[in-house]
Amino acid sequence: MNDDKDFLYRQLDGLGQMIADGLADEPDGKWIRQQYRETAIALGIAKPSDFRKPRTNHSKQINTFMQDRLKNVTCSYCNGALEQTRSGALRAKCPKCNKVFILGKYRKTSKTRKR
């Protein structure tokens, strides 16, 4: 058991040195960072969530879109004014009849998309 941990710590140290030397930035060096992540997780030093990219927040854009959209749209059941369910949501709710409507669609756009 202790030998396994010693091996993993030595492996982690070696991989860290390889990353520091810049070998992981080479075209065929992607495996180094991947192995470093797996080793750190196996040792309990890091969690898988430590290596994930944080989600981008588009609340401001969604809220401005919803402000414009709520001016033009009314409830299709009672013709009442709609309110955004919460900040950053594309859903609106009618306070009179409690019906929920989806007023937009979030689409990911890729900068490198080819036609």
The whole-angstrom distance between residue 20's C-alpha and the CA centroid of its chain comes to 27
pLDDT by residue for the chain (115 residues), tens only, comes to 688 899 999 999 999 999 999 999 998 999 999 999 999 999 989 888 877 777 778 889 899 999 999 999 999 999 999 999 999 899 999 999 999 999 887 666 555 555 4
The DSSP secondary structure of 44-113, one letter per residue, reads TSS-GGGGSPPPPP-HHHHHHHHHHHHHH-B-TTT-PBPEESSTT-SEEE-TTT--EEE--------TT-
pTM of the prediction?
Answer: 0.49
